[in-house]
Structure 1
């Protein structure tokens, strides 16, 4: 009998716990609906959103408890677990065979299928079609990747209870403005789990600033219209400073005498100067004559453990689309493969990327204490962290490699 009594008590407490959780969620759901009415509706109305649009946007919308980084009312943010976001993982994984070949082969098909839209956008913005294709392929597989989330559910949930509630609240108001303008029906406004919209994956505020009508129907439909998607990506890059006639960059060989610590957009010099230092293109061709007087920047995303590049200001325009060296490099590389038939990078990616972000962050904090600017102890090996490692190695009399490894994490204290 003691066993049966214990079992009954266990079942009772388990059931009670389930009921409590359900009651808590029901209570928070009521708070959410009140927040929409009392906070969001007045702000939306002030931006010109009608009551009919507002009601249509939130018809049937409930909190999505499956989204990440949620902070329900009355709770504290959880300590984030180790994350392995693709843009900051091991470079070799980012440039895997399947991703490269798939983006290239489908991109060539899209270049033929949408030649007119690409040419018109390039003429209007100065952005090459191959670059637009590189972004389109990376963001949504040229529209083939399902974008299944309801934008108002995602943005509403994250605006009400997430670690970046203010940001997502602003994006929610922007989404309502998009619906009010008639670009898409509210239930047709599909997004990623983070609220990025349509085939180019614009956040709503970016849609308002950069979405373009590519087919002349008076709407900017980045969900169903390929022409609008192409025009919108081109418009975004042009508005962010794309320099017409310049490339994004070149793979190069960096002699041992040129330190990898010279990397970074704040250490630019004329491409002719880099060439005078002994840096050459891996293709064996000289740098184009029209590029020689322009600014170039050393990029070594895996330090001495991978390929090196001299990139132009256009590379950093690509980074405005997604703040990742690897993302911008992937887009430019795939664009070259699509149009020119380029092969893989000459240098392979070394066996790097097996460190936890917490390990890298620990090393970054140690470098900061020594006076280095690592760009923040975020556990991500950006260019400031890479070159700080190189400078530390040089100070120790070592040949700089400019990339975190297990050995360096243990040595830099």
Structure 2
């Protein structure tokens, strides 16, 4: 879930728009997958700017001891730890959108840049290389193997771009100086717990915002959701592609993925569709600018009765679906399942989730 613009190719190390924000090419410091609850806090984080770096490290050491982290790990991490000025620069350079503007750009230009022949063909190559492993994980978890590959491609360009920042430097700097101290301090403590579990400092590299490995998990999610896909008993999301596949599947299952249901389908809407009648009257509490664009839930049968027709494939009559028109009333629309929302949990952006779905469909063909 951290795009660093200088590293961007067609697909790149993933970042997430700030929750509830849509953007044409979202750049933001925090993945949605980092927003899962961290372990219980014993020593609370301190207010931003309340102490110098040396005092803040002492605070981190006190909190680490209170949470049962070994003195060996504390001594290995904290005494020589310095703030990383590059992290501060990158954090401060993140765009916050256009002041006073509530307009949402169309999806089509983003789609042309990110649903490309290159990313699809490389996904197909990975599917051939790892067919048996991906098929086994799909059978075990119910998660579509092509969705797994699409996320892998989107997050790190199929493992090519994972970030080389020391996680302790990055997270410690963001916690001390940044805008969301509580969050990043929790993640710093989670990274220390990873060391106690046997991950080395060499493992704990990632993006400047703390997302790590081939799947770009934050440390708290590595603790919870890193999975063993190659049978060696260790979830190594940095060096093992099978572990990366299994971890992505594990994340989506945790987010509510339902076995045997696709993410969504492209549809055509009729000229006279009453969009006010299908608007969701409930204000979303999670990522409001993202979920506000989704209609009320209706079954496939009910959508057909309103004149909404599939472009190619369809769902069975009783599947509940919500409508999204990312390019407005005259563009391609999509009927989306609950599994689309599991993808949104990975990165809360309609542009991201649609791209994952479309790339997955293309890899499968």
Q: 1:121 to 1:171 in 2, by over 3 A?
A: same
**TM alignment of 1:343-382, pairs within 5 A:** none
Q: Does 1:133 align with 2:153?
A: no
Q: 1:89 to 1:66 in 2, by over 3 A?
A: farther
**TM alignment of 1:7-406, pairs within 5 A:** 31-36=52-57, 38-58=58-78, 60-68=80-88, 82-83=96-97, 90-97=106-113, 99-182=115-198, 184-261=199-276, 262=278, 264-265=293-294, 267-283=296-312, 285=313, 287-288=314-315, 291-340=316-365
- Higher RCO by CA contacts (8 Å cutoff, separation 6 or greater): 2
State the superposition RMSD in angstroms: 2.4
Tell me how far apart the structure 1 counterparts of residues 147 and 241 of structure 2 sit (CA, whole Å): 15
User: 2:106 touches 2:328 (CA, 8 Å); kept in 1?
Assistant: no
What 5-or-longer segments of structure 1 have no aligned partner? 1-27, 72-77, 341-413
Tell me how far apart the structure 2 counterparts of residues 31 and 187 of structure 1 sit (CA, whole Å): 27
Q: 1:259 to 1:237 in 2, by over 3 A?
A: same
Give the superposition deviation at 1:266.
Answer: 6.0
User: 1:143 touches 1:199 (CA, 8 Å); kept in 2?
Assistant: yes
Aligned-partner SS, 1:233 = helix
User: 2:143 touches 2:259 (CA, 8 Å); kept in 1?
Assistant: yes
Give the superposition deviation at 1:293.
Answer: 0.4
Aligned-partner SS, 1:303 = coil
User: 1:251 touches 1:310 (CA, 8 Å); kept in 2?
Assistant: yes
Provide the TM-score with structure 2 as the length reference: 0.75
Give the superposition deviation at 1:96.
Answer: 2.6
Q: 1:91 to 1:43 in 2, by over 3 A?
A: same
Tell me how far apart the structure 1 counterparts of residues 138 and 169 of structure 2 sit (CA, whole Å): 36
Aligned-partner SS, 1:96 = helix
Tell me how far apart the structure 2 counterparts of residues 124 and 80 of structure 1 sit (CA, whole Å): 39
User: 1:122 touches 1:129 (CA, 8 Å); kept in 2?
Assistant: yes
What 5-or-longer segments of structure 2 have no aligned partner? 1-48, 99-103, 280-292
Tell me how far apart the structure 1 counterparts of residues 171 and 126 of structure 2 sit (CA, whole Å): 31
More helix by share: 1
Q: How many residues align?
A: 297
Give the superposition deviation at 1:254.
Answer: 0.2
* Structure possessing the higher radius of gyration over alpha carbons: 1
Provide the TM-score with structure 1 as the length reference: 0.67
